[in-house]
Amino acid sequence: MRSLLPLVLVSATAAAVVAAGPSAAAPPSAMPHDPAVTAPPSAVPHAPAVAPAATRAALAEQACAPVTDDALDAVLGGLPAELARDGVPGAVVSVVAGGRTVRAEGFGVADTATGAPMDADRSLVRIASITKLFTATAVMQQVEAGRLALDDDVNAHLTAFTVPTAFGEPVTVRDLLDHTAGFEERGIVIGARAAADVRPLGETLRRHLPARIYPPGEVAAYSNWGAALAGHLVEQVSGEPYDRYVRAHVLEPLGMTRTTAAEPVPDGLAADLAHSYDSEVVPPEAIPFTFDRLPPDGSVSATAADMARFVQAHLDGGGPVLGERTTALMHTRSFTADDRLPGSAHGFQERFVRGHRLLVHDGSWEGFQSALVLVPACGLGMFVSFNATGGARTLPDVVERFTDRFLPTLDGATPSPPAAASALPAHPAPLLRAGFYTRTRHNESSVERLLVLLDQSRLRVADDGTVAFAGTTWTATADGLHRSPDGGMLVPVDGRTGRHYVVTDGPDHVLLAAADTLPVNLAVLAVAVVVSLSAPAVVGVRRRARRRRSATAPRWRAARFLTAAASLGGTAFLVALGAELVGDSSEFLYEVPASFRVLLGGGVAVLATAAAGAVLTALAWRGSGATRAARVHQVVLLTGLVALTWFLARWNLVGWQLG
C-alpha cells in the first residue's frame, strides 16, 4: 500500500472485481459435529423448495456449455503470459463441474526465492474476504440448529458489549451477512505483525466498535467489522472459538485438510504457505505475513483443491455441512436496494451474466487477489487466486474468459434480467440528483473520514437524461434504469432518513452534502493558505515598530504575532498532512505512526495559538494604537484561521480521533 486511500479499500467487496468479468464465550453446549443432521426443519424459516438432484443436473446441462479439458485450456492457457505481464509470480485455479473437480492447477511459483512451484494441492493461499463465506456458512449452520435466527437482534446474543441503538432499529443477523447493518468503514489498525498483538475477537470488536451511519436494511455498505461480529455470534452460541469451530464443523466434514482459519498457520501447513508480493516493485517484493485482527472477515488460508471441495458443497445442496433447504435459503436473495439490480444472498453477492445468476465473492489481503464464482443452475464453480498485487489486473480477465466460455446467452434472456423477488419491498424510483457522491463504504467518525475527499465522483445529468458518473456515460432506458455501454446498471434510491443513494451493479454511492464536496473544501483551504501568505508581513511591521518605538499596545502586538504564527503553522500542517496522504501509509495497517500522532498534535497547537490570538485581539482592539490597515489585516488573518478551523473540525482532525 502506497497511500492512505488504498488502505481503507483493502479486502474489498466482490462487486467490482467479479462484475468486471474470543472474548468470554457462552458455556459449551452440546454442539453436534454436523448441525444439519439434527436440526428440526422448522428451524429454517421460509426455506425454498429444493429440486431433486436429477432435476438440478438436467437443468445444469441445459444452462451451460460443456466443461471439457480443451475448453478449460482455452480459458487458462494464457495465464503464464498474463502473470509475466502483471508482475505476478504465481496463481492457482480450481474448477468444479458435473459434481466433481475437473481442474486444479498451479501456475508460476509460490516463492520467488526458492522457486517452489504453485501447486493446487499443496500451496496455501490467503483467501482474504472469501473467508466471509465460511463465516456465513457457520451462521447458517446455527440458524439450521435453531441457535440463531436471521431476524434476531444481534444484541440478544452478545454478553461483553452491545451494538448501540441508532435509527430506532436493531441490527439483525441478516444485516451482518448482507452488509446492510449501516456500519461505517474502518481501515486503520486492521492488521498485526505478530499473534501477540491480536486480542480475543470479542475484545477487539468492543474496542473498535464503528459508528452506525445508515439505517439497517437500507443500503449495502461493506463491513469487515460486521462480518467479524457474525463470526463472534457463532462463537457465542456454540461456545467454540471461531477457528476451532470452522475446523470442526466446516473443514473436517468437507475433507479440507489443507485449510485453516488459524493464525499463524499451523506448523504442519506453514511450510507450504505461498508468499505474496508487491507487483509495483521490480522485481516484486515479498509482503510479510499479516495477522487479521478480525479473523472471521479474512483469516482463512487454503489450497485451490480444498476450495473446490467448499465450492462443490455449495453446488451440491450443502454436502455434509448444510441441509439442502438451508443451502437453498442461503443462496436465495436476501437484500437488494432495487429489485431490478443484483443484490446479496446471505453472504454471497449476486451477479447476472447473459441471463445466468452467479453467486460470487472476492478477497484481497497481503497482496493475494482471489475470487470464488458459483453458477448454481449450471453446477459450475471456480476458485482462482494470485499471489501478488498485480493479480488485481489479471483476475477480471480470467473470470471474464471463464464466464464467456461456459455461460452462453440463455434463450429469451435479457443481458441482466430482473432477479427473483427480494425479501424487501421495491423502493419507489426517485429522481436522480446531480452532485458529488462517495462510496457508501466510508468513515464518518474518525480521522479516516478525510479519505472521503479523495474518493468522490461527480454525477451530472444532461437535458436528454444521459448521466455522466464514475467515468462512464449512463443512458436512461424504458425500464427506468440507466445503463452503461458495458451493460452496467444504475438507479437512484431515497433512504428513509433523507439520504440519497446511487445504486449500481457494482459499488453503491451516497450523495454528499455540499460542505463535504471537494470543490467547497478546496475553496476553504485556498482561503486559509492564501491568507497565510501575508502573515510574514507581521514580522516586518513589528521590526519597523520597534525601530520607531511604536505606540501600539503590547497586547495588540502579541495578538498579531500569535495570529500570524497560527496562520503559518496551519499551512505547514496542511502541507505535512498532504505528504502523509500521498506517501507510504503501510504502517497504518498495524498502528497509527507516532509521526502522525505528533502531526495531529501540531494541529491542536495551531488551533490553540489561533484561539489565544483571537482572544487577545478582542481584548486589545480598543486602545491598540494600530493603524486601520493593521486592523484589517488582523481580521483577514483571523478569517483564514476560521476557515482552517472549519476544515479541521469537519474532517475530524481536531485532536486524536483515531477510531
C-alpha cell at 166: 441508532
Report how far apart, in Å, the C-alpha atoms of 435 and of each of 246, 502, 594, 605 are: 45, 11, 37, 35
Task: Using CB atoms within 10 Å of the CB of residue 28, give its burial: 0 to 12 exposed, 13 to 18 middle, 19+ buried.
Answer: exposed
- 3-class SS of residue 34: coil
| Helix spans in 298-349 (H) | 304-315, 324-330
d(Cα 613, Cα 55) in Å, to the nearest integer?
80
Helix 594-620 vs helix 628-650: crossing angle, to nearest 10 = 140
End-to-end Cα distance, the chain: 20
d(Cα 551, Cα 545) in Å, to the nearest integer?
8
Provide the CB-side half-sphere exposure for 30 (13 A, CA).
Answer: 3
Query: Is the separation of the CB atoms in 126 and 132 below 8 Å?
Result: no
Question: Number of H helices and number of E strands within the chain?
Answer: 21, 22
Q: Is the peptide bond before 536 cis (omega within 30 degrees of 0)?
A: no
CA angle, 261 as apex, 260 and 267 as ends, to 5°? 50
Helix 79-86 vs helix 391-406: crossing angle, to nearest 10 = 160
313: left (phi over 0), alpha (psi -120 to 50) or beta: alpha
From the list 23, 94, 129, 422, the catalytic residue is: 129
CA angle, 447 as apex, 211 and 505 as ends, to 5°? 60
C-alpha cell at 397: 480477465
d(Cα 363, Cα 385) in Å, to the nearest integer?
9
Beta-strand relationship, 500-504 and 285-287: unpaired
Give CA torsion, residues 544, 550, 556, 561, to 10 deg.
20
Which of 506, 470, 501 lies closest to 488 in space, CA to CA? 506
3-state per-residue secondary structure call for 421-474: CCCCCCCCCCCCCCEEEEECCCCCCCHHHHHHHHCCEEEEECCCCCEEECCEEE
Does residue 301 carry a catalytic annotation?
Answer: no
| Residues with catalytic roles | 129
